[in-house]
Structure formats: C-alpha cells, structure tokens
Chains A and B, each alone.
Chain A
Amino acid sequence: MKRVLFALLVLVIASAFGVQQQKPQPGNLKAAMTRGKTVYEATCLACHQPDGLGVQNMNPPLVKTKWVLGDKKALIKIVLKGLQGGEIEIDGDKFHNPMPPQESTLSDQEIADVLTYIRNSFGNKASLVSMGEVKAVRAKLK
C-alpha cells in the first residue's frame, strides 16, 4: 500500500511538473518574448552581444549552454546574484568579466521575461520562465 501511495505521489508530482512545462501559451510566449527582448537589449546585450555569442574570454555565449537550457532555479539565481568571473567554463575557456547581479535593478517580471527570451532565442528552445518562479527563488535567496 505504502508503495502504491508513493508511486501515486511520484505520478502526481511528475504530471504537475509536466503540465507546468508543457502548458502551451503561444500568446504568453509572444508577449514575454517582446518584453524580454527589451530587457535583453538594455541589460544583457552589451556583454552577451546581439547574437548571444558573447565575447572570447570575456563574456560567455548564451547559445545552448547547460545554464541557459538547464535548471531554471540555477539560471534565475545567476541573474539575481551574478557571478564573480572565472566561474563558468565552456570547452576549457573561462571568462574574465563578472556577471553583474541584477537583483536590485530588474523586477521579477523583467527577469522572467528576459530568461524566457534567451531560452527561446539564438537557436535555443526551452520552456518559459514565470514571474512566480523568479519570485520564489528571490525569496529563498533572501
């Protein structure tokens, strides 16, 4: 019985996860992409460049990296808290610039939008990031 219950629990969690990931929201995506592009251009483009390919040894690319496409909580944390420089390694290359923390300059909505934007630009394809997800990570990091 316990086993069945456990299995059921797993199923429920899994499906919840699935629903959250696959919820088709074409309208939302389009609006989020438009808003996210504006945030990207004002805040990220200088370093990560118009094509998302970054700058050799200075700023990493955002194209199909494990951070951009991977765990959303970790991704949100990178944007909120930033990185020191030298923390990310791609093909043996490190990057000299720091990634500036955005917790004091961008709202939950703006961070959600810009992450949705980078996860669906430059050849990337991944689920949306919601304002709630950003809010939850921000609260946990406080």
Chain B
Amino acid sequence: MKKVLILACSVVFAAAAFGSDTTRVKSSSTGIVKKDEAPITLPQGFKSVVIATDLGRARHLTVAANGDVFVKLEKLKEGKGILRLHDKNGDGKADEITGWGNYIGTGIAIKNGYLYASSDENVYRYKIDEKTGKVDTASVEKIVTGLVSQNQHSSKSIALDNSGNIYVNIGAPSNCCQVQDRVKGSPGQDPCPILEKAGGIWQFKADKANQSYAEGVRYATGLRNVVGLDWNTEVNELYCMQHGRDMLFQFFPELFNQKEGAENPAEEMFRLTKGADCGWPYCYYDNDKQQKLMTPEYGGDRKKADRCADKTKSVAQFPGHLAPNGLLFYTGSQFPAKYKNGAFIAFHGSWNRSPEPQAGFFVVFMPFKNGMPNGKWEVFADGFSQIPKGATEGRAKYRPCGLAQGPDGSLYVSDDTNGTIWKVNYSK
C-alpha cells in the first residue's frame, strides 16, 4: 500500500513538474515585454525602464558597444544558459531574445573582442563583434576548468584587468569551515583545508585554454564567498564584496542576541592586491565592535583579535546578511559627477536575519576618491522586494543580482527571481 502511495505521489509529482515546464516554453518563446512594469524608486533625475522580463534566474549581465545586453542564467531557459537581448525597433526594450550555451552559471563579461561566461566549474569565451552584438558561438574555448563546485557558494563571478588576466572567485563550500558544516557546537578546522582550492580569488590568463589550479595563481584568500567582483580601472585594482558567515545568533546566543546576530558579521568590501588574506574562516568583522575579531568556532569571544590583527582590512562594511551580489565601478559620464568612479553594489537581500525582518534587496551607491570610499553609502535603487517594511515573513518579488554599464553610461540591473532587467538613465 505504502509503495503504491509513493508511486502515485511521484507520478503526480513528475506530472506537475512536466506541466510547469511546458507552460514555461510556451509563454516565453516570443520574449515580448509585459505591460506591468516593475516600479523601483530612484534618486531625483533618474528614471528606469524595464527592458525585459521573465528571463528566469538572471544573474550577471554585460552590455556590448552596440547596446545588446548579455545575461547569464542560473537555470536554463529553453535549454539556453546565455541570453542576448537585442532592441530591434529602437524603442528602448529588448524585442529579440536569443540564446546559446547549455550550462548554468553566474559570471559574464566582455573584453577585447571576447565574451566570457562561467559555469559553476569552468570559464568559457566566445568571439564577439561588439559593433553588431554578433557572437560566434562555434568559437567557444574553455579557458578555465575543474574549479571546486559543491552546491554551497558554487557560483563563479569573473572580472578582467587590462593586462590580459581574468579573476575568478571560488567560494568556500562551507559556512565557517567547521568539522561538521552548520552543526551547532562543531569546532572550526585549523588550518582550514578548504582554503587550498576555494575561499578566494584565483587569477588566470584570459587567452589560454584549459587552465586549472596548477596554471592559476591564488590571488587572494580568506574570502568565504564572493559574488560581486569588479576591476577598478581608475586605480587598476581588484575589488570584491564578501558574503559574511551565517548563524552567529543560532550557534552562539551567549555572545550574540537575536538583533546582533542579524547585524553581524559585516558584509565587507575589499580592495585586493596579490597575496591578500581577508581572514575567513578564522576572523569576522564585528559591526558593533567595528573590528576584525576571532570567529567563535576558533575560540573568539567578541573581544579577542589575536591572529586577525594583521589580516587584510576591508575598505567598507555593511550590515549583516544583505548578500552583495553585484559590484560595479561607474566610469560613465551620463550620471552626475559624484557618481564617477564610485561603486554601485546590488544587494540580493537576506535570509539569515530571521526572525528579525529581512533586509537588503536594493542597489547601493558608495562615493569613491582615488580608489577609496569617500563618504557614506546611500540606497540608490529600492522597492525591489515589495515586502512591507518591518514584516518578518514574505517573499521578495524581485532580487537585485547583477549590474552593468551601457555604452551611453546608463546602468543595468538584473533580478534573478523573475528575470527582470532594468535600465536606469539620468537626465536633468
């Protein structure tokens, strides 16, 4: 009887899964933008247009010189993992959506006539004619291969410098390198073996096929997970946003009350030079003490700094668990002068602040001068989640994930819940 029940259940299950698949194919083949545009709030003078919707798990994106937008998907859409959004009739919206690449992933970037895209294990590149947006999909080369990917923090963001290198984050498949991941009371492994092949940023040649760990350089270590990664062309250095560890309140209620657990540790921005060690898993940045301190799993008591004193310091800190997924240094001239060379950061929004209200789900601007933050960060684009302020339950309608700059200096934001793409413009 039980067997029959289980069988019946799985048949219904399979049928349901199949059902939703077919509808998806039907509804999306045309790629026409729906009328109900998703409103977001912006500072005065800025306006947004939704250029595409329903792309699915739209992660990072990049814009070619002709204005075509390329989006990397974390879930295949009609068998495609990379989408090209083209505006054929010039009305400012994508009306021709095509795709290729049968792998899921996050990273995408254009540099020197090539479009780079990552799966969770590899980095590929394709020849692109930026004047027309045409990609030669047959020219595919596997640049990097065999990177650690074990479910947790498996997405690979990419950034390219002006000296022929590509940087790839390899997230640690762990919260805090405990012997038993995410089990209360399990101690931290010391040294943490994960750091050999993950928990950092690796540097590879941008034009060499089939590189893996042996050919790459561990450029920075001690980074739990990075999704927002960008090369700053003003000072020629790499910057990243780290996702801090989870569960401080759940595992150490004697050190962190519920509110402190929601606010800690900081989500940190690092300016990276070769050899940087940002401290994970041994250290975390305490937002209340404004200091890098020892992680409790390694004997920390919210007072001891010990071996954390000489770790690479972050250049900016943000409230806990906001999940910075996109980082972009703005080099355009369309926006007012204060935005030039400053950082936009897309925060995906939290989950580990619960039972406190969730937070994030916005795009932040942080002014910069000479490669260093210059003033307080401010919320630039908001209204994505549509969760009432202070509510402790509810699903975010949209979650900002990727950022890109268009050739005319406009800013693009992707959402990976529905696959919505906004284009933000400024005019006096």
Q: Which residue of A lies closest to B174 (CB)?
A: A98
A57-B74, A86-B151 known; A49+B351 contact, CB < 8 A = yes
B152 within 8 A of A: yes
In the assembled complex, how far is the CB of residue A106 from the closest CB belonging to chain B, in whole angstroms?
Answer: 10
Chain B residues positioned under 8 Å from A71 (CB to CB): 2, 6
- CA–CA, A51 to B183, complex, Å? 22
Partner-binding segment picked from B13-21, B366-374, B402-410: B13-21
Would A46 and B246 count as touching, CB distance under 8 A? yes
- CA–CA, A112 to B246, complex, Å? 26
Which residue in B20, B150, B154, B393 is a CB contact (below 8 Å) of A50? B393
- Interface size on B, as a range, is 35 or more
A45-B354, A50-B355 known; A66+B151 contact, CB < 8 A = no
B395 within 8 A of A: yes
Would A46 and B183 count as touching, CB distance under 8 A? no
Chain B residues positioned under 8 Å from A14 (CB to CB): 1
A70-B9, A92-B75 known; A100+B181 contact, CB < 8 A = yes
In the assembled complex, how far is the CB of residue A48 from the closest CB belonging to chain B, in whole angstroms?
Answer: 9
In the assembled complex, how far is the CB of residue B403 from the closest CB belonging to chain A, in whole angstroms?
Answer: 19
Which residue in B75, B182, B250, B395 is a CB contact (below 8 Å) of A97? B182
Which residue in A66, A82, A97 is a CB contact (below 8 Å) of B9? A66
- CA–CA, A102 to B250, complex, Å? 14
A55 within 8 A of B: yes
Would A58 and B351 count as touching, CB distance under 8 A? yes
Would B354 and A53 count as touching, CB distance under 8 A? no
- Interface size on A, as a range, is 35 or more
Q: Give the one of A14, A47, A98, A105 with max B CB within 10 A.
A: A98
Would A51 and B393 count as touching, CB distance under 8 A? yes
B137 within 8 A of A: no
In the assembled complex, how far is the CB of residue B16 from the closest CB belonging to chain A, in whole angstroms?
Answer: 8
Would B247 and A46 count as touching, CB distance under 8 A? yes
Which residue in B21, B154, B181, B184 is a CB contact (below 8 Å) of A98? B181
- CA–CA, A23 to B8, complex, Å? 25
Would B74 and A49 count as touching, CB distance under 8 A? no
Q: Which residue of B lies closest to A46 (CB)?
A: B250
Would B246 and A92 count as touching, CB distance under 8 A? no
Which residue in A66, A101, A102 is a CB contact (below 8 Å) of B13? A66
Taken residue by residue from 88 to 101, chain A's Cβ proximity to chain B (1 for < 8 Å, 0 otherwise) reads as 00011111111011
Chain A residues positioned under 8 Å from B13 (CB to CB): 66
Q: Which residue of A lies closest to B399 (CB)?
A: A56
Chain A residues positioned under 8 Å from B392 (CB to CB): 50
In the assembled complex, how far is the CB of residue A101 from the closest CB belonging to chain B, in whole angstroms?
Answer: 6
In the assembled complex, how far is the CB of residue B203 from the closest CB belonging to chain A, in whole angstroms?
Answer: 25
B236 within 8 A of A: no
Taken residue by residue from 148 to 162, chain B's Cβ proximity to chain A (1 for < 8 Å, 0 otherwise) reads as 001111100000000
- CA–CA, A59 to B351, complex, Å? 10
A42-B250, A71-B6 known; A96+B152 contact, CB < 8 A = yes
B352 within 8 A of A: yes
B417 within 8 A of A: yes
Chain A residues positioned under 8 Å from B150 (CB to CB): 84-85
- CA–CA, A86 to B392, complex, Å? 27
Which residue in B17, B74, B351, B355 is a CB contact (below 8 Å) of A91? B17
Which residue in A46, A95, A97, A104 is a CB contact (below 8 Å) of B354? A46
Would A46 and B352 count as touching, CB distance under 8 A? yes
Q: Which residue of A lies closest to B261 (CB)?
A: A46
Which residue in B9, B151, B184, B355 is a CB contact (below 8 Å) of A105? B184
Which residue in A53, A82, A85 is a CB contact (below 8 Å) of B395? A53
A-contacting residues, B222-251, CB 8 Å = 246-247, 250
Chain B residues positioned under 8 Å from A84 (CB to CB): 150-151
Would B20 and A91 count as touching, CB distance under 8 A? yes
In the assembled complex, how far is the CB of residue B65 from the closest CB belonging to chain A, in whole angstroms?
Answer: 33
Chain B residues positioned under 8 Å from A49 (CB to CB): 351, 354, 393
A50-B392, A97-B182 known; A55+B151 contact, CB < 8 A = no
In the complex, 13 of the A-B residue pairs with CB atoms within 8 angstroms, ordered by the A residue number, are: A42-B250, A46-B352, A49-B351, A50-B355, A57-B74, A58-B351, A66-B13, A70-B6, A86-B151, A91-B16, A92-B20, A92-B75, A96-B151
Binding site for A on B (CB under 8 A): 1-2, 6, 9-10, 13, 16-17, 20-21, 57, 74-75, 150-154, 180-185, 246-247, 250, 351-352, 354-355, 392-395, 399, 417
Given A71-B6, A91-B16, A98-B151, 14 more A-B residue pairs with CB atoms under 8 Å apart are A42-B250, A43-B250, A45-B355, A50-B354, A51-B394, A58-B351, A66-B10, A85-B152, A92-B21, A92-B75, A96-B154, A98-B181, A100-B181, A101-B180
Q: Which 8 interchain pairs have the tightest Cβ spacing?
A: A85-B151, A100-B182, A55-B351, A86-B151, A51-B393, A100-B183, A96-B151, A46-B250
